[in-house]
């Protein structure tokens, strides 16, 4: 593993009790993060782990092979589309998937996203192969929990929600409690983050002076991303939603998307 951040192991963690734990896995295109949870309490976590460790576990072999009460795997998307449930028909899901320009080495998933929308997305074949052992029935779109958590917080119409990771930014906007906008953008620099945020705000006719950016993920109050956004959007705050009971040294916004996976998935063990 490499570049691990927010590593944590609680003194009470015991793999012999895995049958009462939930394993959360969040895959990205080049890395993955994991957490083990018991009754809304974080027991173990690590972020930015080497993706090969998920496909061919060595250091994490025992942790990843244990039998858990529940396993939830968040899958990344290299292309996606949202389809209102009232328009969705599984028989024509393949027709929707054609808009994603699916390549031979990609796999397509169609799943419920929230009460109103299904999501059809493609993910790299190597990701699908790495998580298949956990059962595709235990997978969901990586941001499903994050979106659900925000929806439950009664988001105001002047908030733009942003989740930042190493290579992507997710931007979400609600009108009432319904998703009006959601998309994922590849970013490698703070100027690209500002560009896509401004582009979305303009598309939604949100004025920078009155729009609040609510940030989570790989971002801090004093980092370059935050400072650059602040030059264009004067109202910025860290997302304060708390899903799990965390130790004091781990900021909740850093683990929000991973922790929110606990809101998703089936109750089947694997």
Same domain membership, residue 225 and residue 167:
yes
Q: Quick one: 58 and 148 in the same domain?
A: yes
Residues 113 and 72 in one domain: yes
Q: How far is it, in rounded angstroms, from Cα 120 to Cα 124? A: 14
Is 212 in the same domain as 251? no
Q: Give pLDDT, residue 5.
A: 58
pLDDT band at 6 (very low <50, low <70, confident <90, very high): low
Dihedral angle over CA of 183, 188, 189, 191, nearest 10: -40
Q: If you average pLDDT over residues 162-190, what whole number do you get?
A: 94
Please say if the pLDDT value at position 221 is more than 90.
no
| Phi, psi values for residue 146, rounded to 5° | -60, -45
Give mean pLDDT, residues 194-199: 98
Q: Give residue 164's domain range.
A: 154-240
Q: What would the DSSP string read from start to end of the chain?
A: --S-EEEEE-TT--GGGGGG-EEEEEE-SSEEEEEEEETTEEEEEEEEEEHHHHHS-STTHHHHHS--SEEEEEE--SEEEEEETTT--GGGHHHHHGGG---TTEEEEEEE-SSSEEEEEEEEHHHHHHHGGG-GGGEEETTHHHHHHHHTT---TTEEEEEE-SSEEEEEEEETTEEEEEEEEE-SSHHHHHHHHHHHHHHTT--TTTPEEEEEES--TTSHHHHHHHTT-SEEEE-----SB--TTS-GGGSHHHHGGGGSS-----
Residues 92, 8 share a domain: yes
Q: Which residues lie closer than 8 Å to 188 by C-beta, 6 or more apart? A: 167
- Tens of pLDDT, residue by residue over 54-86, are 999 999 999 999 999 999 999 999 999 999 998
- The enclosing domain of 135 has a CATH number of 3.30.420.250
CB 162 within 8 A of CB 170: yes
Question: Number of folded domains in the chain?
Answer: 2
**Domain shared by 223 and 253, yes or no:** no
Task: Assign 270 a pLDDT band (cuts: 50, 70, 90).
Answer: very low
- The pLDDT tens digits for 82-126 are 999 988 887 777 777 788 988 999 999 999 999 999 999 999 999
Domain identity same for 41 and 123? yes
Domain identity same for 184 and 116: no
Q: What is the pLDDT of residue 269?
A: 33
Q: How far is CA 141 from the centre of its chain?
A: 7
Q: Over the stretch 206-215, which tens digit does the pLDDT of each residue have? A: 999 999 999 9
172 and 206 inside one domain: yes
Contacts of 126 (CB under 8 A, 6+ apart): 51, 55, 105
Question: How many other CB atoms are found less than 10 A from the CB of residue 104?
Answer: 5
Beta bridge partners of 179: 174
Q: How many residues does the chain have?
A: 270
Same domain, 181 and 146: no
CA distance 202 to 222: 26
- Name residue, tokens 């009432």: 176
181: domain CATH number?
3.30.420.260
162 & 210 share domain: yes
Same domain for 268 and 137? yes
């Amino acid at each position: 593993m490499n570049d691990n951040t927010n590593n944590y192991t609680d003194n009470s963690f015991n793999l012999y009790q895995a049958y009462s734990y939930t394993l959360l896995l969040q895959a990205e295109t080049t890395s993955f993060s994991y957490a083990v949870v018991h009754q809304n309490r974080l027991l173990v976590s690590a972020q930015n782990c080497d993706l090969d460790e998920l496909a061919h576990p060595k250091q994490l072999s025992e942790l990843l092979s244990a039998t858990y009460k529940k396993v939830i795997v968040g899958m990344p998307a290299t292309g996606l589309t949202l389809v209102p449930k009232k328009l969705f028909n599984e028989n024509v899901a393949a027709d929707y998937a054609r808009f994603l320009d699916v390549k031979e080495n990609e796999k397509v998933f169609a799943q419920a996203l929230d009460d109103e929308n299904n999501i059809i997305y493609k993910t790299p074949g190597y990701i699908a192969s790495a998580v298949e052992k956990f059962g595709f029935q235990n997978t969901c779109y990586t941001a499903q929990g994050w979106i659900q958590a925000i929806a439950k917080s009664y988001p105001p119409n002047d908030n733009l929600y942003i989740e930042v990771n190493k290579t992507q930014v997710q931007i979400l906007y609600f009108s009432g409690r319904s998703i009006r906008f959601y998309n994922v953008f590849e970013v490698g620099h703070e100027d690209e983050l500002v560009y896509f945020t401004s582009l979305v705000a303009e598309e939604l006719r949100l004025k920078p002076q009155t729009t609040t950016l609510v940030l989570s993920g790989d971002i801090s109050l004093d980092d370059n991303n935050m400072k650059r956004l602040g030059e264009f959007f004067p109202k910025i705050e860290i997302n304060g939603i708390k899903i799990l009971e965390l130790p004091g040294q781990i900021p909740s916004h850093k683990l929000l998307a991973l922790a929110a996976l606990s809101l998703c998935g089936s109750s089947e063990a694997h």
